[in-house]
Structure 1
Amino acid sequence: MVLDEHKHNFDIHINHIEHEDVCGDSLRIQQVFVNLMSNAIKYTPDGGNIIFSIEEKPNGFSELGCYEFTIEDNGIGMSPEFQKIMFDPFSRADDHRTTRVQGTGLGMAISRNIVNLMNGNIKVDSTLHKGTRITVTIYLELQEKEKEQDENLMNLPVLVVDDDKTCCESTIATLKEIGITGEWVLSGREAVERCYARHELKNDYFAVILDWKMPEIDGIETARQIRKRIGKEITSIVLTSYEFSEIEEEAKAAGVDALLQNRCSVPG
């Protein structure tokens, strides 16, 4: 996603989330990430990169899930001296680059207090002039409801197509959790060739999941080419973070079977 005001490139990565149904104080959790994201936006120069990642970590508690949230940017970074006091109330770096940035300096102190109340922690890795990586770990109560594997989906072959390797691996992991056998490629052109090769062996993919925004040929054009070479045997699904209305007609004309909201990356 390109954030319009400052032209930041913003990506979301979701990795290995085994339990999605959890209990927690959503308002307080949102407050933490609003504070952290606000800082990343404020202190990352125009055109910079911001990545928000979520990963579930293994832990020894059957009733609790351990979730690690990471916000990483290539902004102005922080000095080692400031990192020692950054969680103190009203702390602001004494830096000419921040003099025009408004704020009370309370955001990090509030965020740490909230996370500590949830028996979590905040870790900061930052290098001056290079950027900052903030990792928040919290524990949330798991719900009894678990994902159930649909026997009709077991071992179905699916191809995931995205130029972001991390997003491909995340999607494959999600599919595996419900019993689907997934493969991935990093370009639309490779996807067309892979689909055609399996078609020649009379072993078609059940479905192809395509990111809309890709270099060279996008997801809709890839679906069009697959449909042209193979026919209607393969279900094509395009992931988009835009409003569906922007691409709905084009997708329909290309033979796309479904449009879905992209959870992993937010292009813009």
Structure 2
Amino acid sequence: MAISKTKDLLGQLAQLEKTVSEFSFEELNANEAKVLKNSFDTFRSSLENHIYSPNTTSSMVEETKASDIREQESAQNQFIAHISHEIRTPLNSIIGFANLLNEENLTKSQHKKVDAIQFASNTLLKLINEVLDYSKISSGNTNFESVDFNLHSLLNDVMFLCETLIVDRDIELLVEIDENVPKIIKGDPSKLSQVLLNLLGNSVKFVHKGFIKLEVFASKTFNGGCELEFSVADTGIGISQEKIKTIFNSYTQAENDTSSKYGGTGLGLTITKEIIEKLQGNIEIDSTVDSGTTVTFRIPYPLGNNINTSKNTNNDSTLEGKKVLAGTKIMVFEDNQMNQRLIVEQLTKWGCKVYSNLSLPKSLKTLESKDLDLILMDLKMPGQNGFEVSKIIREHSNTKVNTIPIVAFSADFTEQDSKDCKAIGINDFLLKPYTLEQLMKTILDNKNIKLEQAEYSALLQKPMIKPKETTVVDLNHLLKECFGEIDMLNELVKLFKLNAIEFIGNVKIHLKTENLKEIALSAHKLKAGFAMVKADGMRKLIVDLEASCKAHQPEKVKELYELFLTDYPLLEENLDMDLKTLNKK
């Protein structure tokens, strides 16, 4: 290129850079200005390369472009994480106070309004989680566990959650697990649950009549493990072949009106595909409009060891949890006044002694003078953040202070946060917004050794023989659903018993002719009753019985029915005892 033309071009380039900078400063916000500057720098670098190094390959330019893209993506992910935190903080208060309101003596109309608030809040939380999940997965900041877990137990839990979503709809929920599927495998149970709930949740959303079926079998075996194939089939609205090609793309939904009609971000399948591929698996979709969809994915899993699977030592009963928590001394570091008021009220209702709204010097003096059991620490406080305060506590010279368990909580939690927590000595983490059950479980998991010993002593006084799973009931939840009205509870229990008697009569009649269709209908009607009285073990038996009817396995149906006849009288005894206790209160 001629020298005169080169000088002229570089002069114009300098003038253009000055104009771009002035425009950015006067007309654009910081993010827009950054994007414009990156674009201009890429253009300038390309032009200078052509002037000064005309023989240089395009690889340098491509590398510069890739670097710019990575920088922009990093900025976007930071922005998403920041916005997520800012939304989660007030949302935590909304969900928390709605939970507390639901425990009050409200009218039926007020309960409906609280339910509406909870539904809207949880929907918003789900959308935020999807966007944040996508941001973390796409940037490679998601952690994947590798632990031994019970696959069959996980599948049962997932199906139970899905079953609660299809009440009052003419939909059959089916599951078939091949006998060659191992019970204990090694991997990330939470990610597998997320994938299954995404896919089954889509089916629940788009199926109005028919069935949803989950099938699992081991498609291949290898040394020390197997490839598991999961298939979710439904009779929903279906997807056109044209749309299947782009269905896994970000922010894509099958049809233009899907978002307005069914809700969602359009990220569910994108996240699902990303997770499956990071687990060395693959996914495919086969669908016909107005007929249904089948989604199949395969993931390799090593075989696990049953000894290493975690045992749930905590009692799921809220009442039992309250008994254990009563008198627990907890210090709360939380700068947001609304969130502080919320958590203090929650803990006080459980009989805890709470210390909050203290300056750091006063907090340290309280930790020295009182025998506290736990510290709840907000990580993202202004001024001295939770990491810095936790470090001061851990470096304190008094062992009474530096050994107190610390549970961090925040509206977002990155991989770096996890590393920092471990380095400082923070014991556990709770993500906002959390449920009351999650808060209680976290406290029970981390409370000081004094309470653990007291709990152990109390357990020694209990009978060692636990009631059979199929005979366990819990009416506390149903009483809450009855707004605390014991008469209504008594009436519902009577209706439940009548339904059980009707079921026994129907099955007895139809077993003679092996009319499995009618038996399946009777079982379908009854399983909601067992869910109502929290008889999860018996509900699972009824679900298995219904599935055996649909699979046309009369011998299995008879076997399960005999088991029902043996265990139901014991369940009814426990039901009557529970009811008698509640009537005395």
* Fold conserved between structures, TM > 0.5: yes
TM-score computed with the length of structure 2 as normaliser: 0.27
Does residue 249 in structure 1 map to residue 569 in structure 2? yes
Does residue 78 in structure 1 map to residue 401 in structure 2? no
Aligned to 1:23: 186
Aligned to 2:201: 38
Choose which of 212, 218, 232 in structure 2 pairs with 1:50: 212
Structure 2 CA distance, aligned partners of 1:9 and 1:237? 20
Choose which of 10, 22, 41 in structure 1 pairs with 2:173: 10
Classify 1:239/1:93 alpha carbon distance in 2 versus 1 (closer, same or farther; 3 Å).
farther
Structure 2 CA distance, aligned partners of 1:20 and 1:10? 21
How many residues align? The count is 174
Classify 1:128/1:22 alpha carbon distance in 2 versus 1 (closer, same or farther; 3 Å).
same
Structure 2 CA distance, aligned partners of 1:89 and 1:74? 25
- Aligned 1:230-245 pairs, distance under 5 A: 236-238=559-561
Aligned to 2:438: none
Does residue 141 in structure 1 map to residue 302 in structure 2? yes
Give % identity.
25
Counterpart residue type for residue 4 of structure 1? V
Q: Deviations over 1:173-224 (max 9, x none)?
A: xxxxxxxxxxxxxx83377xxxxxxxxxxxxxxxxx9964459xxx8xx86x
Residue 99 of structure 1: how far off its partner (Å): 3.3
Does residue 103 in structure 1 map to residue 264 in structure 2? yes
Classify 1:55/1:18 alpha carbon distance in 2 versus 1 (closer, same or farther; 3 Å).
closer
Structure 2 CA distance, aligned partners of 1:44 and 1:138? 26
- 2:545–2:560 contact (8 Å) kept in structure 1: no
What SS does the aligned partner of 1:38 have?
A: helix
Counterpart residue type for residue 238 of structure 2? G
Counterpart residue type for residue 170 of structure 2? K
Q: Deviations over 1:130-153 (max 9, x none)?
A: 1000011111111366xxxxxxxx
- 2:220–2:227 contact (8 Å) kept in structure 1: yes
- Aligned 1:86-125 pairs, distance under 5 A: 86-96=247-257, 99-125=260-286
Structure 2 CA distance, aligned partners of 1:103 and 1:89? 12
Aligned to 1:188: 511
Residue 19 of structure 1: how far off its partner (Å): 2.1
- 2:230–2:297 contact (8 Å) kept in structure 1: yes
Q: Deviations over 1:109-165 (max 9, x none)?
A: 0000100011111111001111000011111111366xxxxxxxxxxxxxxxxxxxx
Structure 2 CA distance, aligned partners of 1:98 and 1:72? 22
- 1:43–1:98 contact (8 Å) kept in structure 2: no
5+ residue gaps, structure 2: 1-162, 307-509, 515-540, 573-585
- 2:259–2:266 contact (8 Å) kept in structure 1: no
Residue 237 of structure 1: how far off its partner (Å): 4.4
Q: Runs (4+) of structure 1 moved beyond 6 Å?
A: none
Structure 1 CA distance, aligned partners of 2:241 and 2:253? 14
Structure 2 CA distance, aligned partners of 1:12 and 1:83? 25
Residue 62 of structure 1: how far off its partner (Å): 1.3
Residue 14 of structure 1: how far off its partner (Å): 1.0
- 1:115–1:122 contact (8 Å) kept in structure 2: yes
Classify 1:84/1:18 alpha carbon distance in 2 versus 1 (closer, same or farther; 3 Å).
closer
Classify 1:100/1:112 alpha carbon distance in 2 versus 1 (closer, same or farther; 3 Å).
same
Classify 1:130/1:63 alpha carbon distance in 2 versus 1 (closer, same or farther; 3 Å).
same
Aligned-residue CA RMSD (Å):
3.7
Classify 1:212/1:31 alpha carbon distance in 2 versus 1 (closer, same or farther; 3 Å).
closer
What SS does the aligned partner of 1:58 have?
A: strand
Structure 1 CA distance, aligned partners of 2:295 and 2:186? 23
Classify 1:70/1:25 alpha carbon distance in 2 versus 1 (closer, same or farther; 3 Å).
same
Structure 2 CA distance, aligned partners of 1:24 and 1:42? 28
Counterpart residue type for residue 261 of structure 2? R
Report which structure shows greater RCO (CA 8 Å, sep ≥6).
Answer: 1
Residue 100 of structure 1: how far off its partner (Å): 1.2
Classify 1:8/1:70 alpha carbon distance in 2 versus 1 (closer, same or farther; 3 Å).
same
Aligned to 2:223: 62
Residue 18 of structure 1: how far off its partner (Å): 4.4
5+ residue gaps, structure 1: 146-186, 192-208, 224-235, 253-268
Higher helix share: 2
Aligned to 1:132: 293
Which structure has the larger Rg over C-alpha atoms? Answer: 2
Structure 2 CA distance, aligned partners of 1:121 and 1:239? 42
Structure 2 CA distance, aligned partners of 1:50 and 1:18? 20
- 1:112–1:122 contact (8 Å) kept in structure 2: yes
Classify 1:239/1:71 alpha carbon distance in 2 versus 1 (closer, same or farther; 3 Å).
farther
Higher strand share: 1
- 2:181–2:228 contact (8 Å) kept in structure 1: no
Classify 1:86/1:27 alpha carbon distance in 2 versus 1 (closer, same or farther; 3 Å).
same
Residue 8 of structure 1: how far off its partner (Å): 1.6
Residue 63 of structure 1: how far off its partner (Å): 1.5
Structure 1 CA distance, aligned partners of 2:259 and 2:252? 12
- 1:91–1:106 contact (8 Å) kept in structure 2: yes
